[in-house]
Amino acid sequence: MNCEQELAALQEAIRSERKAKRITQEELAEMLGVSPTHVKHMESGHRKPSIEILFNLAKILNLSLDAVVFPKNASQSQDTREMVERILDGLDENALQFVLHVLEALCEKERNDSKERSS
């Protein structure tokens, strides 16, 4: 993916995530501390977001910059993450703690398996 393609992907990601969250350009501009015209220009490609605005966009829109820049399997990964997030949102604190312990154990197993493969 070249720079122009990455910028086009970023523009589309900003627009689609903003719309998915039902945020207007004016509301997003207010959250970012910029003018609505600035947001419009970022979405249309007439302006590139600064690093500061890019980070704020990622936070506000819950946008994975990795998924935008490195889109390999990004849509599948994003779908899976959204499904997991929906499930986690419905759990109480005890269940969340249990899930955390299971995930930590899984990560530990993966690290150990990876060490064994590299030995």
Mind listing the pLDDT tens digit for each residue in 71-85? 665 556 677 888 888
Based on the fold, state whether residues 68 and 80 are members of the same structural domain: no
52 and 16 assigned to the same domain: yes
Burial letters 47-68, b for 16+ CB under 10 A, else e = bebeeebbebbbebbebbeebb
If one counts the domains in the chain, the total is 2
User: Could you tell me the residue range of the domain that residue 95 belongs to?
Assistant: 73-119
The pTM for the full model equals 0.56
Whole-number average pLDDT of the chain: 86
The pLDDT of residue 75 is 59
Quick: pLDDT tens for 95-117. 999 999 999 999 888 888 877 77
Q: Are residues 93 and 52 in the same domain?
A: no
The enclosing domain of 24 has a CATH number of 1.10.260.40
